[in-house]
Structure 1
Amino acid sequence: MSRYAARAPLSVYMLADHLDGVLAAGEDLIARGHDWRALAENPGDPAEFALRQRRIAEDVRGLELMLVARVLKARTHARSLAEVDDRFRAVGTLFASGTNVLLDAVTECGDARSEDFDSGEDIISYVRSRGLIAPDAASVRSAAELTIDDSFLIAKRIALGPLLDMAAAFLDALDSQYELFVEAEPERGTRITLERDEGDRLSLN
């Protein structure tokens, strides 16, 4: 940890943690999407396929909810940081305005009754609402459509790619000012051994 990080307000650490959580949830969403597509390409036993697909769909929804929660928490800490550090007023406002649409999704995301995946039709409705298939598509026509990428609509409202870009840009801005991710310097007295081509050894204290 750098001397600058030691002087960072608490809101910086909280904000950085939630932004990092947003990025992690996004990466996990994409990875679980790969699993879903792989399953669709090799469904195997129909009964087993239904169970495995439901499990993946529930994981995807869980990760989506986690991402939304992290974004909303990040918004709160971004406002707190803007009050104590004017340098982040503009980027905080940009992040808040860019994610404002998720505020309307809180109640809807909290009620999962319409997306409990009790049947195949419920899953189709879910992937349709997240932009994986066309709004008028009656079913998934190919495994390739079950690809979660930058265009995946989080809570039906905001594309995953731009959301992750905003989070990453904000996290980079925090790091550039507070050096949050500086690696610790090696302890004094550490012995470093260098191997030469001739087989000689050179030791440095």
Structure 2
Amino acid sequence: MSHVAMRAPLSVYLLADHLDAILAAGEDIVARGHDWRALAEKKSDPADFVVRQRAIAEEVRGLELVLVARVLKARDHARSLAEIDDRFRPVGSLFASGTALLLDAVEESGDARSEDFETGDDIVSYVRSRGLIAPDAPAVREAAQLTIDDSFLIAKRVALGPLLDMAAAFLDALDVQYTLFVEDDPLQAGQLRIEPDDIDRAPLN
């Protein structure tokens, strides 16, 4: 891909970074789901299983928080970009409307004490709230139910698959317009290209 391209506004680089991080967090959540299912399928000491399962669940919850934070930042930068480039108004509006439900989840995601108090910090409650088992299911009955896929509900509200699809589509649109990713060097393929001046001017957000 040519290095000669239209110089992108700073908001484009910041938005692209957040979108890329959303995709990475989503992939990590799915990967932890594989670990969780593998743990459930393997015979082990019950006490050890409980501890390791709790650790994986907390990792998934942490990645959810990272993903939500990145989505909210991406929404901000999408609005900034739409103000200076009308071409991105439609995709920006789609992304904003598709992620609006996560705005209501910020306080709840950051402080799970209320839910933990009501459920006794039960792992089944977390699994149920993410759509891995039916809302009225009393427990996880088989390891296959611990599969995290596109239907996993981020913060109990937005399905993971469509969210990642929106982020990827937005990122592709930015790359098509501004040639953000370097592909000339195989060692740098897929890396976000940021100009030195942009680094100097970039705020820490």
Highest CA radius of gyration, 1 or 2? 1
Matched letter for residue 138 of structure 2: A
Q: Which residue of 1 aligns with 2:45?
A: 45
Is contact 2:11-2:77 (8 Å) kept?
yes
1:21-44 C-alpha deviation (Å, 9 max, x unpaired): 000000000000000000001140
The RMSD of aligned alpha carbons is: 1.9
Q: Which residue of 2 aligns with 1:156?
A: 156
Is contact 1:21-1:70 (8 Å) kept?
yes
Q: Which residue of 2 aligns with 1:4?
A: 5
- Give secondary structure in 2 for the equivalent of 1:77: helix
User: Displacement of 1:122 after TM fit?
Assistant: 1.3
Q: Which residue of 2 aligns with 1:146?
A: 146
User: Displacement of 1:172 after TM fit?
Assistant: 0.2
* Alignment TM-score, normalising by the size of structure 1: 0.85
Counterpart Cα distance in 2 of 1:101 and 1:20: 20
1:37-85 C-alpha deviation (Å, 9 max, x unpaired): 0000114011111110010000000001110111010000000000111
Matched letter for residue 10 of structure 1: L
**Is 1:124 equivalent to 2:157 in the alignment?**
no
- Which aligned segments of 4 or more residues in structure 1 are displaced greater than 3 angstroms? 114-117
Is contact 1:16-1:174 (8 Å) kept?
yes
- Give secondary structure in 1 for the equivalent of 2:181: coil
Label 1:41 to 1:114 Cα distance change in 2 as closer, same or farther (>3 A). farther
User: Displacement of 1:110 after TM fit?
Assistant: 1.2
Counterpart Cα distance in 2 of 1:93 and 1:159: 18
Q: How does 1:1-205 map to 2 (within 5 A)?
A: 2-4=3-5, 7-114=7-114, 122-184=122-184
Label 1:62 to 1:185 Cα distance change in 2 as closer, same or farther (>3 A). closer
Matched letter for residue 5 of structure 2: Y
User: Displacement of 1:184 after TM fit?
Assistant: 4.0
Mind listing any 5+ residue stretches in structure 2 that lack a counterpart?
A: 187-205
Label 1:39 to 1:116 Cα distance change in 2 as closer, same or farther (>3 A). farther
* Count of aligned pairs between the two proteins: 184
Counterpart Cα distance in 2 of 1:49 and 1:64: 22
Label 1:78 to 1:139 Cα distance change in 2 as closer, same or farther (>3 A). same
1:88-144 C-alpha deviation (Å, 9 max, x unpaired): 011101100110010000111111224669x98611000000000000000000000
Is contact 1:34-1:147 (8 Å) kept?
yes
